[in-house]
Amino acid sequence: MTAAATTRAFRVAYDGREYAGFQRQPHATTVEGTLLRALAEHGILDRGDGPTHATPPGYAAAGRTDAGVSAVAQTVAFEAPAWLTPRAFNGHLPGSVRVWAAADVPDGFHATHDAVRRTYRYHLYAPESGTASADPTHAVTDDRVRDALDRLSGRHDFHNLTSDDAGTVRDLTATATRDGDLLVIEVAADGFPRALVRRLVAAVRAVGRGHSEPSRIDRLLASEPVPGEIGVGPAPPEPLVLWDVAYDGVAFDVDREAAESARVAFGERYRTARHVAAATGAIRDRVASGDPGEPSGRRDDAA
Protein backbone atom coordinates (compact mmCIF):
# COMPACT_ATOMS: atom_id res chain seq x y z
CA MET A 1 0.00 0.00 0.00
CA THR A 2 1.35 3.44 -0.85
CA ALA A 3 1.57 6.22 1.71
CA ALA A 4 -1.25 8.02 -0.13
CA ALA A 5 -3.72 5.13 0.30
CA THR A 6 -5.34 3.42 3.25
CA THR A 7 -7.83 0.61 3.59
CA ARG A 8 -11.25 2.20 3.90
CA ALA A 9 -14.71 0.68 4.31
CA PHE A 10 -17.70 2.47 2.78
CA ARG A 11 -21.39 2.16 3.62
CA VAL A 12 -23.48 1.97 0.45
CA ALA A 13 -27.25 2.46 0.14
CA TYR A 14 -29.05 1.47 -3.05
CA ASP A 15 -32.47 0.96 -4.55
CA GLY A 16 -32.13 -2.53 -5.97
CA ARG A 17 -35.25 -2.48 -8.14
CA GLU A 18 -33.38 -1.50 -11.30
CA TYR A 19 -30.37 -3.76 -10.79
CA ALA A 20 -29.74 -7.42 -11.57
CA GLY A 21 -28.36 -7.91 -8.06
CA PHE A 22 -25.24 -6.62 -6.35
CA GLN A 23 -22.53 -8.84 -7.83
CA ARG A 24 -21.20 -7.74 -11.21
CA GLN A 25 -22.02 -9.93 -14.16
CA PRO A 26 -21.63 -9.69 -17.90
CA HIS A 27 -24.41 -8.07 -19.93
CA ALA A 28 -26.37 -6.87 -16.88
CA THR A 29 -26.49 -3.69 -14.81
CA THR A 30 -25.49 -4.44 -11.22
CA VAL A 31 -24.71 -2.37 -8.14
CA GLU A 32 -21.14 -3.62 -7.93
CA GLY A 33 -20.56 -2.88 -11.61
CA THR A 34 -21.88 0.63 -11.01
CA LEU A 35 -19.51 1.16 -8.06
CA LEU A 36 -16.50 -0.11 -9.99
CA ARG A 37 -17.38 2.03 -13.00
CA ALA A 38 -17.47 5.05 -10.70
CA LEU A 39 -14.00 4.18 -9.36
CA ALA A 40 -12.75 3.85 -12.94
CA GLU A 41 -14.16 7.28 -13.76
CA HIS A 42 -12.38 8.64 -10.70
CA GLY A 43 -9.14 7.21 -12.14
CA ILE A 44 -8.64 4.83 -9.22
CA LEU A 45 -8.60 1.67 -11.33
CA ASP A 46 -8.49 0.58 -14.95
CA ARG A 47 -11.81 0.64 -16.74
CA GLY A 48 -11.40 -2.85 -18.19
CA ASP A 49 -13.69 -4.29 -20.83
CA GLY A 50 -17.43 -3.78 -20.34
CA PRO A 51 -18.48 -4.96 -16.88
CA THR A 52 -15.11 -6.60 -16.20
CA HIS A 53 -13.55 -3.63 -14.43
CA ALA A 54 -10.49 -4.37 -12.37
CA THR A 55 -10.91 -4.08 -8.62
CA PRO A 56 -8.77 -1.97 -6.30
CA PRO A 57 -6.30 -3.76 -4.01
CA GLY A 58 -7.99 -5.45 -1.07
CA TYR A 59 -11.47 -5.05 -2.54
CA ALA A 60 -14.36 -7.07 -1.06
CA ALA A 61 -18.06 -6.53 -0.36
CA ALA A 62 -20.09 -7.61 2.67
CA GLY A 63 -22.67 -9.58 0.71
CA ARG A 64 -24.29 -10.39 -2.61
CA THR A 65 -27.88 -9.22 -2.62
CA ASP A 66 -30.22 -10.69 -5.24
CA ALA A 67 -31.89 -8.83 -8.10
CA GLY A 68 -34.44 -6.38 -6.74
CA VAL A 69 -33.08 -6.39 -3.17
CA SER A 70 -32.07 -3.00 -1.73
CA ALA A 71 -29.57 -1.99 0.96
CA VAL A 72 -28.88 0.78 3.40
CA ALA A 73 -25.61 -0.59 4.85
CA GLN A 74 -23.96 -2.69 2.16
CA THR A 75 -20.24 -2.40 2.85
CA VAL A 76 -17.33 -2.38 0.42
CA ALA A 77 -13.70 -1.97 1.47
CA PHE A 78 -10.45 -1.48 -0.47
CA GLU A 79 -7.25 0.53 -0.58
CA ALA A 80 -8.50 4.06 -1.26
CA PRO A 81 -6.72 7.38 -1.75
CA ALA A 82 -7.17 9.82 1.13
CA TRP A 83 -9.34 12.15 -0.97
CA LEU A 84 -11.98 9.46 -1.68
CA THR A 85 -14.63 10.47 0.84
CA PRO A 86 -18.25 9.30 0.51
CA ARG A 87 -19.25 12.62 -1.06
CA ALA A 88 -16.40 12.33 -3.57
CA PHE A 89 -17.37 8.71 -4.37
CA ASN A 90 -20.91 9.89 -5.12
CA GLY A 91 -19.65 12.26 -7.79
CA HIS A 92 -19.78 9.47 -10.38
CA LEU A 93 -22.73 7.48 -8.98
CA PRO A 94 -26.41 7.64 -9.97
CA GLY A 95 -29.06 8.67 -7.46
CA SER A 96 -30.07 5.03 -6.99
CA VAL A 97 -26.66 4.27 -5.39
CA ARG A 98 -25.32 6.51 -2.62
CA VAL A 99 -22.25 6.15 -0.40
CA TRP A 100 -22.95 7.86 2.94
CA ALA A 101 -20.41 6.77 5.60
CA ALA A 102 -16.86 5.46 5.85
CA ALA A 103 -14.30 4.08 8.29
CA ASP A 104 -10.55 3.60 8.05
CA VAL A 105 -9.86 -0.05 8.86
CA PRO A 106 -6.69 -2.09 9.51
CA ASP A 107 -4.62 -3.51 6.66
CA GLY A 108 -5.91 -6.93 5.74
CA PHE A 109 -9.52 -6.06 6.61
CA HIS A 110 -11.96 -8.11 4.53
CA ALA A 111 -15.52 -6.79 4.14
CA THR A 112 -16.93 -10.30 3.66
CA HIS A 113 -15.02 -12.46 6.12
CA ASP A 114 -14.72 -9.91 8.94
CA ALA A 115 -18.47 -9.26 9.19
CA VAL A 116 -19.74 -10.71 12.48
CA ARG A 117 -23.47 -10.08 11.97
CA ARG A 118 -25.70 -9.23 9.04
CA THR A 119 -29.25 -7.95 9.44
CA TYR A 120 -32.03 -7.89 6.86
CA ARG A 121 -35.47 -6.30 7.10
CA TYR A 122 -38.42 -7.47 5.02
CA HIS A 123 -41.35 -5.05 4.75
CA LEU A 124 -44.26 -7.46 4.40
CA TYR A 125 -47.71 -6.14 3.48
CA ALA A 126 -49.75 -8.06 6.04
CA PRO A 127 -52.67 -6.27 7.73
CA GLU A 128 -53.60 -7.74 11.08
CA SER A 129 -56.62 -10.05 10.97
CA GLY A 130 -59.73 -8.54 12.50
CA THR A 131 -58.81 -4.91 11.78
CA ALA A 132 -60.86 -2.58 9.58
CA SER A 133 -58.14 -2.52 6.90
CA ALA A 134 -57.60 -6.27 6.85
CA ASP A 135 -57.58 -7.64 3.31
CA PRO A 136 -58.46 -11.33 3.72
CA THR A 137 -56.02 -12.26 0.95
CA HIS A 138 -53.04 -10.79 2.82
CA ALA A 139 -54.14 -10.55 6.46
CA VAL A 140 -52.17 -12.43 9.10
CA THR A 141 -52.57 -13.29 12.76
CA ASP A 142 -49.64 -11.63 14.49
CA ASP A 143 -49.37 -14.28 17.21
CA ARG A 144 -49.01 -17.01 14.58
CA VAL A 145 -46.30 -14.98 12.82
CA ARG A 146 -44.35 -14.50 16.04
CA ASP A 147 -44.68 -18.17 16.95
CA ALA A 148 -43.22 -19.12 13.56
CA LEU A 149 -40.35 -16.64 14.00
CA ASP A 150 -39.62 -17.99 17.47
CA ARG A 151 -39.34 -21.50 16.03
CA LEU A 152 -36.92 -20.28 13.35
CA SER A 153 -34.71 -18.39 15.82
CA GLY A 154 -31.64 -20.15 17.21
CA ARG A 155 -28.98 -22.36 15.70
CA HIS A 156 -30.45 -24.55 12.96
CA ASP A 157 -29.56 -26.20 9.70
CA PHE A 158 -31.60 -24.25 7.14
CA HIS A 159 -30.86 -26.60 4.24
CA ASN A 160 -34.60 -26.83 3.42
CA LEU A 161 -34.82 -23.05 2.99
CA THR A 162 -31.96 -22.52 0.54
CA SER A 163 -30.57 -23.96 -2.66
CA ASP A 164 -27.04 -23.87 -1.24
CA ASP A 165 -25.36 -27.13 -0.27
CA ALA A 166 -22.89 -25.65 2.21
CA GLY A 167 -22.94 -23.00 4.92
CA THR A 168 -26.55 -23.81 5.83
CA VAL A 169 -26.06 -24.06 9.62
CA ARG A 170 -26.61 -20.59 11.09
CA ASP A 171 -27.32 -18.93 14.43
CA LEU A 172 -30.29 -16.77 13.55
CA THR A 173 -32.60 -14.29 15.28
CA ALA A 174 -35.96 -13.42 13.72
CA THR A 175 -38.48 -10.89 15.05
CA ALA A 176 -41.41 -8.85 13.71
CA THR A 177 -42.61 -5.31 14.43
CA ARG A 178 -46.00 -4.07 13.30
CA ASP A 179 -46.09 -0.76 11.38
CA GLY A 180 -49.68 -0.21 10.34
CA ASP A 181 -50.52 -2.65 7.56
CA LEU A 182 -46.87 -3.72 7.34
CA LEU A 183 -44.99 -6.29 9.34
CA VAL A 184 -41.28 -5.48 9.43
CA ILE A 185 -39.60 -8.85 9.77
CA GLU A 186 -36.00 -8.49 10.96
CA VAL A 187 -33.64 -11.41 10.50
CA ALA A 188 -30.04 -11.35 11.78
CA ALA A 189 -27.34 -14.00 11.54
CA ASP A 190 -23.61 -14.45 11.15
CA GLY A 191 -24.24 -15.12 7.46
CA PHE A 192 -26.97 -16.11 5.02
CA PRO A 193 -27.10 -18.85 2.39
CA ARG A 194 -28.84 -18.07 -0.88
CA ALA A 195 -32.43 -16.72 -0.63
CA LEU A 196 -32.78 -17.84 3.02
CA VAL A 197 -34.45 -14.63 4.21
CA ARG A 198 -37.04 -14.58 1.42
CA ARG A 199 -37.89 -18.28 1.86
CA LEU A 200 -38.13 -17.77 5.61
CA VAL A 201 -40.54 -14.87 5.07
CA ALA A 202 -42.64 -16.98 2.68
CA ALA A 203 -42.88 -19.78 5.25
CA VAL A 204 -43.81 -17.36 8.04
CA ARG A 205 -46.37 -15.61 5.84
CA ALA A 206 -48.09 -18.94 5.09
CA VAL A 207 -48.34 -19.72 8.80
CA GLY A 208 -49.56 -16.21 9.61
CA ARG A 209 -52.33 -16.43 7.01
CA GLY A 210 -53.42 -19.83 8.29
CA HIS A 211 -52.40 -21.61 5.08
CA SER A 212 -49.86 -23.72 7.02
CA GLU A 213 -49.68 -24.96 10.57
CA PRO A 214 -46.77 -23.89 12.81
CA SER A 215 -45.56 -27.50 12.79
CA ARG A 216 -44.53 -26.97 9.17
CA ILE A 217 -41.70 -24.75 10.42
CA ASP A 218 -40.43 -27.64 12.52
CA ARG A 219 -40.55 -29.88 9.45
CA LEU A 220 -38.56 -27.35 7.43
CA LEU A 221 -35.89 -27.29 10.16
CA ALA A 222 -35.64 -31.07 10.35
CA SER A 223 -32.60 -32.91 9.00
CA GLU A 224 -34.58 -34.76 6.31
CA PRO A 225 -35.01 -32.97 2.96
CA VAL A 226 -38.57 -31.83 2.33
CA PRO A 227 -40.33 -33.16 -0.79
CA GLY A 228 -41.02 -30.66 -3.53
CA GLU A 229 -44.72 -30.31 -2.81
CA ILE A 230 -44.08 -28.87 0.65
CA GLY A 231 -41.01 -26.87 -0.28
CA VAL A 232 -41.01 -23.09 0.09
CA GLY A 233 -40.35 -20.67 -2.74
CA PRO A 234 -38.88 -17.22 -2.03
CA ALA A 235 -41.02 -14.18 -1.28
CA PRO A 236 -40.61 -11.25 -3.75
CA PRO A 237 -37.26 -9.45 -3.48
CA GLU A 238 -38.38 -5.81 -3.64
CA PRO A 239 -39.48 -5.45 0.04
CA LEU A 240 -36.13 -6.79 1.31
CA VAL A 241 -33.37 -4.48 2.57
CA LEU A 242 -29.86 -5.31 3.76
CA TRP A 243 -30.21 -3.24 6.90
CA ASP A 244 -26.91 -3.58 8.75
CA VAL A 245 -23.51 -5.28 8.65
CA ALA A 246 -21.56 -5.29 11.94
CA TYR A 247 -17.79 -5.49 12.37
CA ASP A 248 -15.88 -5.74 15.63
CA GLY A 249 -14.05 -2.53 16.45
CA VAL A 250 -15.17 -0.61 13.34
CA ALA A 251 -17.02 2.69 13.83
CA PHE A 252 -18.32 4.39 10.69
CA ASP A 253 -18.31 8.18 10.39
CA VAL A 254 -21.33 9.61 8.61
CA ASP A 255 -20.49 12.09 5.86
CA ARG A 256 -23.27 14.62 6.47
CA GLU A 257 -23.21 16.05 2.96
CA ALA A 258 -23.29 12.56 1.41
CA ALA A 259 -26.06 11.45 3.77
CA GLU A 260 -28.16 14.47 2.84
CA SER A 261 -27.60 13.70 -0.82
CA ALA A 262 -28.85 10.15 -0.16
CA ARG A 263 -31.88 11.47 1.73
CA VAL A 264 -32.84 13.72 -1.18
CA ALA A 265 -32.23 11.04 -3.83
CA PHE A 266 -34.19 8.35 -2.00
CA GLY A 267 -36.90 10.84 -1.07
CA GLU A 268 -37.47 11.53 -4.75
CA ARG A 269 -37.57 7.82 -5.54
CA TYR A 270 -40.06 7.34 -2.71
CA ARG A 271 -42.34 10.07 -4.06
CA THR A 272 -42.19 8.54 -7.53
CA ALA A 273 -43.13 5.14 -6.14
CA ARG A 274 -46.03 6.71 -4.21
CA HIS A 275 -47.30 8.36 -7.39
CA VAL A 276 -47.21 5.06 -9.25
CA ALA A 277 -48.95 3.32 -6.34
CA ALA A 278 -51.65 6.02 -6.31
CA ALA A 279 -52.30 5.52 -10.03
CA THR A 280 -52.52 1.73 -9.79
CA GLY A 281 -54.71 2.07 -6.70
CA ALA A 282 -57.09 4.33 -8.60
CA ILE A 283 -57.30 1.77 -11.42
CA ARG A 284 -58.02 -0.97 -8.87
CA ASP A 285 -60.79 1.07 -7.22
CA ARG A 286 -62.43 2.00 -10.53
CA VAL A 287 -62.51 -1.62 -11.71
CA ALA A 288 -63.75 -2.80 -8.31
CA SER A 289 -66.59 -0.26 -8.40
CA GLY A 290 -67.92 -1.76 -11.62
CA ASP A 291 -68.28 1.72 -13.17
CA PRO A 292 -67.78 1.35 -16.96
CA GLY A 293 -68.01 5.10 -17.58
CA GLU A 294 -70.45 7.15 -19.62
CA PRO A 295 -70.52 7.16 -23.44
CA SER A 296 -68.87 10.16 -24.99
CA GLY A 297 -69.58 12.01 -28.17
CA ARG A 298 -65.95 12.32 -29.11
CA ARG A 299 -62.85 10.13 -28.99
CA ASP A 300 -59.58 11.39 -27.58
CA ASP A 301 -56.93 8.67 -27.27
CA ALA A 302 -53.96 10.98 -26.92
CA ALA A 303 -52.64 11.77 -23.45
What is the residue-wise DSSP string for 227-296? PGGG--PPPPSTTEEEEEEEETT--PEE-HHHHHHHHHHHHHHHHHHHHHHHHHHHHHHHHHHT------
Q: Is 48 or 267 the better-scoring residue by pLDDT?
A: 267
Residue 259 has pLDDT above 90, yes or no: yes
Measured between alpha carbons, how far is 158 from 234 in angstroms, rounded to an integer?
Answer: 14
pLDDT confidence bin for 299, thresholds 50/70/90: low
Residue 52 has pLDDT above 80, yes or no: no
Strands 70-81 and 240-247: parallel
Q: Is 227 or 99 the better-scoring residue by pLDDT?
A: 99
Measured between alpha carbons, how far is 62 from 120 in angstroms, rounded to an integer?
Answer: 13
pLDDT confidence bin for 289, thresholds 50/70/90: confident
Measured over all CA atoms, what is the biggest interatomic distance in the chain, rounded to whole angstroms?
A: 77
Residue 152 has pLDDT above 50, yes or no: yes
pLDDT confidence bin for 38, thresholds 50/70/90: very high
**Global pTM?**
0.91
Write the CB contacts of 215 (distance below 8 Å, at least 6 apart in sequence).
none
Residue 241 has pLDDT above 90, yes or no: yes
Q: Are 100 and 11 in contact (CB under 8 A)?
A: yes
Residue 3 has pLDDT above 80, yes or no: no
Question: In the predicted model, what is the mean pLDDT of residues 38-45?
Answer: 91
Question: In the predicted model, what is the mean pLDDT of residues 107-118?
Answer: 96
Catalytic residues: 66
Residue 133 has pLDDT above 90, yes or no: no
* Size of the chain in residues: 303
Spatial CA neighbour of 70 closest among 12, 124, 16: 16
pLDDT confidence bin for 300, thresholds 50/70/90: low
Residue 286 has pLDDT above 80, yes or no: yes
Tabulate helix, strand, coil % of the chain (nearest 5): 30, 25, 45
Residue 240 has pLDDT above 90, yes or no: yes
pLDDT at 290: 83
pLDDT at 1: 47
pLDDT confidence bin for 54, thresholds 50/70/90: confident
pLDDT at 302: 60
